[in-house]
Structures are given as C-alpha cells and as structure tokens.
Amino acid sequence: MNDFDTQLTALLDDTAAQIDPRPNFDAVRSNTMTFRPDRRGGRRFPRSLGVAAATIALLGGGVAAFDARGGGRQTVSTSSDPTGTVTVETTPKTTVADEEPVVDKAPMPVADPVETDKVHDDGPGDDAAVDFPRSAHLGASELTEGTMVQKLLGQAAPGETIKAHSEFGSIYTVADSDGKWKLVLRLTDVPVGTVVPVRVTFSRSPSVFEFEIERHEPKVEEDPEPVVTTPKPAPEPVVEPKPQPQPKPPVEPTPVAFTVDLGWSYNDDVYMKQGFHGSAPVGSAVSVNSEWGAVHATADAKGNWETLLKLTDVPDGTVVHVWVVSSASDHVVEYDLVRDRPDPEPEPEPEAKPFKVELGAFYDGDAYMKQGFHGTGTPGSTVRASSDFGAAETVIGPKGHWELLLKMYDVPGGSSVGVLVTNSASDAAHDFTVVRPESEPEPIEFTANAALTESDADPMVNEYWGTAPAGAVITISSAYGDGQVTANGDGVWDARIEFASVPVGETFTVKVKSSKSGTFHSFSFTRVDASS
Amino acid sequence: MNLVWTVDSSPPLPGGGEPDASPALHATTDRDEGMRALYARRHADMVRFAAFLTGDVTTAEDVAQEAFARVFDAWDRIDDLERIDAYLKSTVVNLANGGRRKQGVAERFTPPRLRLVPSAEENALGRVGRDDVLAAVAALPLRQRACVVMRYWMRMTESEIAESLELSVGSVRTHVKRGTETLRKQLGDQR
C-alpha cells in the first residue's frame, strides 16, 4: 500500500465512524417503515410500496387495499405525526376475491393540534379534535354525460373523515395533515330542474354544512357561473352547536379581487409542474386543486399569491383538470393542462465493432471454476459462452465492449473443457479449451529412522529408512561412512550403511538429509566392546 | 432443509463494525432468529456501505433497510446461508445503483443542495469532512465506487471483490486503480 492508499483507508474509516445508523429490525420483519423528512423538508417513500402508499400519505394518511404482486390483496396504511415522520405499514397478503377495492376508511392518528381559535364547544368524547375549525365550500361543478360533478373543499381536523351525502350519490375523504380536505361528488340520474340537497358531515364533530345543487338544462355556453347556491345552516334537529363561519382575515380598506394567471410550466420524465399566481384578498387562502394533487397558498400583504403545482406519475397525454379557488371568493377558475413530456434525447447511434473474443481471468474454486471472457462486438447484441459444464451470456454495451464470467460446475481435475463463444449479430464463433488443473497431491513429509543406536560389530552396520517426496535424494553422512539413496515413486526410501574403523567406545553422529527438504535428521551411533 | 449458518463465520467489518455484539447463532434455520442476528451484526455496516455508494446517509438507511427486507423475504430460497453476507452486499450495491438511476432524473431539476460549511476544527486541521468523502466516492462510476469501498474500507481482497461482484480480478484491479486515482485528485486537492 502506498501513502495515499493508507490515507484513503483511514479517511473511509473516519467517515464511516461518523455515520450513526438507527437500527429498526421490526421494520424489516413487519414491513413497517418509518420515514423522516429529508433535508429539504420533503418526504420520500419506500420504493417497494409504490404509488399507492405515497399517494395516501400525501393526502394525509389512511388505508388502501390494492392487488398484491403475485396475487391476492394487501392493505397499506399510512400515518404521520407532527414532526413529519410518516409511517407506512402493509398487511400480509390475503386472497379474498370479493374484497371491496375501497380507499380511505380508517382515519389516521390525529396530530397534536396546532393552536387555533376555539370555534366549537362540542360534547364529551371528542376532546382531541374540538379545537379545529370545520368548513366546507363548493368548488367547480360540471355536467358530463348526465352526471353532475361537484367539487367540495374545506377545513377539518387532520385525519378526520369528511362525508358528503345526497340521495343521488355520496363520497367521503380524509383531511390531510394540515386539516385541508377536498372531494369530488358525482351525482347520477338527477332529473333536470331538481334541487339536490347535499350534507357535509365530519367524523369528529357534530358540525353539518348543507348545500343545494340544482340540475340545469345541459347546454348554455355563456353561463360560466357554477350551478350552486350558498351554504345555509342546517335545519332544526341538526346537531348543536351550529357551525361558525371561518374566521375571516382582516379586511383591507381596498379589497383585492381574486385573479388567477398561469405561470411557467415544466414537463420532464418525472414531474409535471405548473406555476400559478394572481391576486386575492390579503391573508386569504388560495387552493389549486387537481385529481393528481393539490397545493395551497396564502395571499400576502399586497394581495399577491403564487404557487407551484407539482404532479408526479401523470401519464403522457393526460388532460389534467385544475380548479383554483379562494377562501374569500366564490369564483372558481379552471384550466385543462396537458401532460406533454419532452421527447427523449435520441440515443447515439451505436458504433459497430467486429466480434472479438479474448480470454480473461481464470479462477479455480472448490465447487466450480470460472473463466472470464471479454471482447468487442455489435452494441446491443448478445454474447453467449457455452460448455458442457455451464453457460453464460451478456449483452454488449453501447460502446461495443463486453465481458462475461463463465461458471463451470463439477469439472473433474485435469480435464479439458471446450467453450464455444457466439454472438447473435455475427456468424463467427470462437472455440476455447479451458483446462482444470489436477488437484495437488498431498505433499510427502521427509522422515528418517535408524535401526540401532549401538553395535559391537566391526565394521558397524546400520539400517536407515523413512519417507520423502518421490525422487528426493537422501544423503546419509558421518565421520566413519556415507551413503546415498533415492526415494521411490511412493515416497519411501531405505539404506544400509557400513561404518568402518570405529574405535571401541566411540559415539558419532549420523546425519540424514533430503535434497527436497530444508530439514535433516541426526542419529547417534556407538561402538561398544563385544566382551563387555 | 438442514442448513447450518454460523454468524461468527463472517468477520466484522472495519470502521465501526461491532464484533460479536450480537448473539451468535449456530445451526439454525429459523428465519426470524437468523435475520435478527444478521441485522444486529451487519446493519450498521450495510448503512455505511450504502452511504458510500449513494453519497447520502438518509438514502443509505432506506437502501440498507430494503436490502435486509429482501434478504428476509428470500431467506427460504437462499441455498447457501454461508454466502448470505455476499448476497446482502450485492443487494446493497444493486439497490444503491437502482436508486441513483431513478434519483438522477429528479435531481437534475432540483436546485443544488447547500454545501455544508466545514467546521472550524476541520479548517484548523485541514481535514476533509464526511460529506466531502461521501460526495467524492459517490461521484465515481458504480463499479469503481463499489470496488474502492470494498477494497479500502471493507479490506476485501481483489479476488473476494471479484467473486462478490462477479467480475474478473483484472477488472477489479482496474476499477480500484482508476477509482483511487480519481479520489487522489478529488480529495488530495482538499487536504
């Protein structure tokens, strides 16, 4: 390792040590995930749960059932707390075929209420939500193929369920984390001229708002006004207390008219963005709504407002209906925006290259061996390497280069394997032979033994034997005699050595060495007196 | 199925790995227990590994969490539990790459993040901050990034990296060399 390598190792260690992960094993097991707001204040959602959970979370929480991957049904619920942490939980898959594919039934946990004017004094058992103002306004309306479509929006406690009822249709939704809600009520088969009463109720408040919507003759191009009447207080037995009107912003001496203008728009692969700006009474709320998402703004001290509607996952070519309303005006401004993504940049023309193959690295493992191949070829075409013991293929990259690793299992040691490398864009085929090396034999250890330690014979004779790597030359040497022998193919050797003219009583050393080993063995041998 | 997996068989990673902090698990096929031990031992390191690959700690936590969730789902399909560590690492690499691909388009149209101002201590010591290192590593191409982090932070050998990423040893060597050269220019200028 050079100096920079050492520094890099230390730098990476230091950096890693500064990262302090927050383990949450239960999330892995239960499929519950918690997400905190990121640095920019936005929220990111688990990719694995997809658009359903993200959409519900953006709307402020709730529950949705959807078709699970691989069959069956799954339920996703999301909730958020006042810190912006969003929790997404999925239930195990069910296979109930007739389960209703309905959304938004369970109210999400209520966030700690932000301080608001106390406008209701509701009964016991509803303490958590009594401080939130409730309101309901009519938004845009339209008549489409006999169906009356009426948009409603307003304010409620975060997570509260709001229902709009009528004899021709009902719908409910859940207020978002800011307490804002909106819904689209569709009334079918309403006879012309009928006045339809619509009641808006809240799950955690006795407040009720009533509206009357009249079905007009379908035609009139020059009547831009929505076919609505203003809300009136609920009739008699309606629950107490009566809803109070929304607290009005301080009235400016010169009221500012509610106007809307389109700002810049931007379409890319991910987002469809449209800016809106205009004027409105100071402090009034402006809401830009669409089926794909909504955004809110407040008019500033000069009566100006601006906001950016940012929509995701809108399919190309979709007409997105947008309606803009103000809390201080009944006027509704509507737009139809078209999702029109810019054409993708043209792919550069791939560069054609001749099909060439070269051998890469070879790896010999216990269970399998691997041989790398690399080369060039036509971009986008497929290269396949096949053998009797395995095959692999890859797609050539845009620059015409490729590489692949062929794994071959259970190849006997010492055998040759033929590998054929072909290319879908070429008739050429390349043959290779890969040899798996013989497995190494166990090394034979050098050992030596001696038959005698003393003798009275003259000349003295002794026998030596042992093991050594095949072909090793064993040398036996001493002051009174030497000898050499070669280990046989099985690694065995033995020798008989004569030692001449050894004085009686003399003890001498016999050294046994192998030509293939750095070690040696030594033995003592003593000439004793025959008479003793 | 009679599988044996020993948690102790995979050594702790450097740079903050917690050696044997978790209960060792021997001779078990129980998914819950096995996952709990694996999570306790590897979660912190996988988050750090993902942080090097993605350049962002928050994203890294998502990536690591998702990688563990996938391993949890795939537990019964994994034949060789001794290779589960390698499976986990390659899942992190793949998820980090997928996430960056999706994120890339969005980030092109997002205002650049404010760069964190180095602390007085960092200035005084002339040290490179965490964000600088993460950013420099994350700017490398995927394979260079993975090879450099595995080589210099995880202390894996070239052949181990090659095995893990299914590359040749020669490719690993090239990726490490090129990645190191880039980092030397990037980080060397700031030191």
Q: In what order do the strands lie in the sheet containing A32-35? A: A32-35, A86-90, A73-80, A62-67
In this prediction, residue A473 carries a pLDDT of: 93
What's the mean pLDDT when you consider all of chain A?
74
Whether A103 maps to a domain, the answer reads: yes
In this prediction, residue A344 carries a pLDDT of: 63
Tokens of A464: 């030596």
Burial state string for A347-374 with b = 16 or more CB within 10 A and e = fewer than 16:
eeeeeebebbbeebbebeeeebbbbbbb
Mean pLDDT (whole number) for A509-522: 89
Contact A21, B65 (CB under 8 A): no
Residues of A in contact with B54 (CB under 8 A): none
The count of C-alpha atoms lying within 13 angstroms of the C-alpha of A489, restricted to the half-sphere facing its C-beta, is 0
Q: Do residue A269 and residue A187 come from a single domain? A: no
Mean pLDDT (whole number) for B51-75: 83
Whole-model pTM over 0.80? no
d(CA A176, CA A182): 9
Model confidence band, residue A1 (pLDDT cutoffs 50, 70, 90) = low
pLDDT at A493 exceeding the cut of 90:
yes
Mean pLDDT (whole number) for A344-363: 77
Within an 8 Å CB–CB cutoff, is residue B22 touching chain A? no
Q: Do residue A429 and residue A462 come from a single domain? A: no
Model confidence band, residue B159 (pLDDT cutoffs 50, 70, 90) = confident
Neighbour tally for A439: CB within 10 Å: 10
- CA-wise closest residue to A229 among A213, A218, A240, A244: A213
pLDDT at A41 exceeding the cut of 50:
no
Q: In what order do the strands lie in the sheet containing A285-290? A: A295-298, A285-290, A319-326, A329-338
Q: Do residue A463 and residue A499 come from a single domain? A: yes
pLDDT at A510 exceeding the cut of 60:
yes
In this prediction, residue A421 carries a pLDDT of: 92
Residues of A in contact with B69 (CB under 8 A): 27-28, 31, 48
Q: Per the CB < 8 Å rule, is A47 touching B102?
A: yes
Q: What is the pLDDT of residues A173-189, one digit of tens each?
A: 778 777 888 888 888 77
pLDDT at B24 exceeding the cut of 50:
no
pLDDT at A39 exceeding the cut of 90:
no
How far is B93 from chain A, CA to nearest CA, in Å? 16
Q: Do residue A311 and residue A374 come from a single domain? A: no
Contacts of B169 (CB under 8 A, 6+ apart): A361, A363, B158, B159, B162
pLDDT at B36 exceeding the cut of 80:
yes
Q: What is the pLDDT of residues A440-464, one digit of tens each?
A: 667 888 999 999 888 888 889 999 9
Domain carrying residue A378:
356-435
In this prediction, residue A465 carries a pLDDT of: 93
Distances (CA, A) of A365 to A369, A371, A373, B55, B133: 5, 11, 17, 35, 36
Task: Identify which of B39, B106, B166 has the shortest CB distance to residue A25.
Answer: B39
Model confidence band, residue A194 (pLDDT cutoffs 50, 70, 90) = confident
Residues of B in contact with A360 (CB under 8 A): 168, 170-171
How far is A427 from chain B, CA to nearest CA, in Å? 27
In this prediction, residue A47 carries a pLDDT of: 43
Residues of B in contact with A16 (CB under 8 A): 15-16, 45, 48, 51-52, 153
Q: Per the CB < 8 Å rule, is B152 touching A15?
A: no
Mean pLDDT (whole number) for A208-223: 68
Whether A343 maps to a domain, the answer reads: no
In this prediction, residue A88 carries a pLDDT of: 54
Q: Do residue A10 and residue A41 come from a single domain? A: yes
Q: Do residue A139 and residue A265 come from a single domain? A: no
d(CA A285, CA A418): 76
Distances (CA, A) of A473 to A481, A483, A492, A495, A514: 17, 11, 11, 12, 6
| CATH 1.10.10 correct for B1-113 | no
Q: Per the CB < 8 Å rule, is B40 touching A25?
A: yes
In this prediction, residue A512 carries a pLDDT of: 93
- The CATH number of residue A280's host domain is 2.60.40.10
Mutation choice for A interface testing from B18, B56, B65 by most A CBs within 10 A? B65
Distances (CA, A) of A84 to A312, A392, B108: 20, 48, 25
Mean pLDDT (whole number) for A313-326: 84
In this prediction, residue A448 carries a pLDDT of: 92
CATH 1.10.10.10 residue ranges of chain B are 115-191
Kindly give the residue spans of alpha helices, DSSP state H, lying in chain B: 31-54, 57-74, 84-108, 120-125, 130-138, 142-148, 158-165, 169-190
The number of folded domains in chain A is 4
Task: Identify which of A25, A271, A405 has the shortest CB distance to residue B36.
Answer: A25
3 state DSSP class of B62: helix
Within an 8 Å CB–CB cutoff, is residue B41 touching chain A? no
DSSP-derived secondary structure letter, B52: H
Among A311, A338, A365, the domain-final residue is A338
Highest mean pLDDT among A160-169, A262-271, A414-423, B105-114: A414-423
Residues of B in contact with A33 (CB under 8 A): 65
Q: Do residue A108 and residue A182 come from a single domain? A: yes
- The CATH number of residue A482's host domain is 2.60.40.2550
Whether A378 maps to a domain, the answer reads: yes
Cis peptide leading into A241, omega within 30 of 0? yes
In this prediction, residue A126 carries a pLDDT of: 39
The C-alpha angle B164, B76, A35, rounded to 5 degrees, equals 75
Mean pLDDT (whole number) for A467-482: 91
Neighbour tally for A414: CB within 10 Å: 10
How far is A15 from chain B, CA to nearest CA, in Å? 5
d(CA A108, CA A452): 95
In this prediction, residue A236 carries a pLDDT of: 45
Which of A49-63, A75-89, A310-324 is predicted least confidently?
Answer: A49-63
Mean pLDDT (whole number) for A86-97: 48
- CA-wise closest residue to A141 among A316, A423, A330, A364: A330
Contacts of A187 (CB under 8 A, 6+ apart): A147, A148, A149, A150, A166, A168, A169, A196, A213, A215
User: For chain A, what percent of residues have pLDDT higher than 90?
Assistant: 12
**DSSP for A58-77, written as a single string:** HTT-EEEEEEPTTSSEEEEE
Q: Per the CB < 8 Å rule, is A271 touching B16?
A: no
The C-alpha angle A337, A343, A344, rounded to 5 degrees, equals 130
Within an 8 Å CB–CB cutoff, is residue B51 touching chain A? yes
Mean pLDDT (whole number) for A230-245: 47
**DSSP for A224-282, written as a single string:** -S-SB---B---TTPPSSPPPPPPPPPPPSSPPP-EEEEEEEEE-SSEEEEEEEEE-ST
How far is B81 from chain A, CA to nearest CA, in Å? 16
Q: What is the pLDDT of residues B121-143, one digit of tens each?
A: 444 334 556 777 888 888 888 88
Quickly tell me which residue has 């009235």 as its tokens: A251
Structure-model confidence comparison of residues A341 and B160, the more confident one:
B160
In this prediction, residue B99 carries a pLDDT of: 57
Q: Do residue A160 and residue A74 come from a single domain? A: yes
Within an 8 Å CB–CB cutoff, is residue B19 touching chain A? no
Structure-model confidence comparison of residues A255 and B84, the more confident one:
B84
d(CA B129, CA B143): 24
Q: What is the pLDDT of residues B95-114, one digit of tens each?
A: 887 655 444 444 433 333 33
Distances (CA, A) of A289 to A198, A303, A475, A520: 21, 20, 100, 93
Tokens of A360: 């890469």
Fold held by B115-191: Arc Repressor Mutant, subunit A (1.10.10)
Model confidence band, residue A523 (pLDDT cutoffs 50, 70, 90) = very high
In single-letter form, the type of residue at position A270 comes to: V
3 state DSSP class of B186: helix
Q: Per the CB < 8 Å rule, is A403 touching B168?
A: yes
Q: What is the pLDDT of residues A115-124, one digit of tens each?
A: 333 333 333 3
Q: Per the CB < 8 Å rule, is A19 touching B48?
A: yes
Mean pLDDT (whole number) for A60-88: 50
Q: Do residue A331 and residue A273 come from a single domain? A: yes
Put simply, the chain B residues between 126 and 145 with a CB less than 8 A from any chain A CB are 128, 130, 133-134, 137
Q: Do residue A211 and residue A277 come from a single domain? A: no
Burial class of A519 by CB neighbour count within 10 A (0 to 12, 13 to 18, 19+): exposed
Provide the ipTM: 0.71
In this prediction, residue A16 carries a pLDDT of: 84
Which of A341-355, A478-492, B62-76 is predicted least confidently?
Answer: A341-355
Q: Do residue A428 and residue A469 come from a single domain? A: no
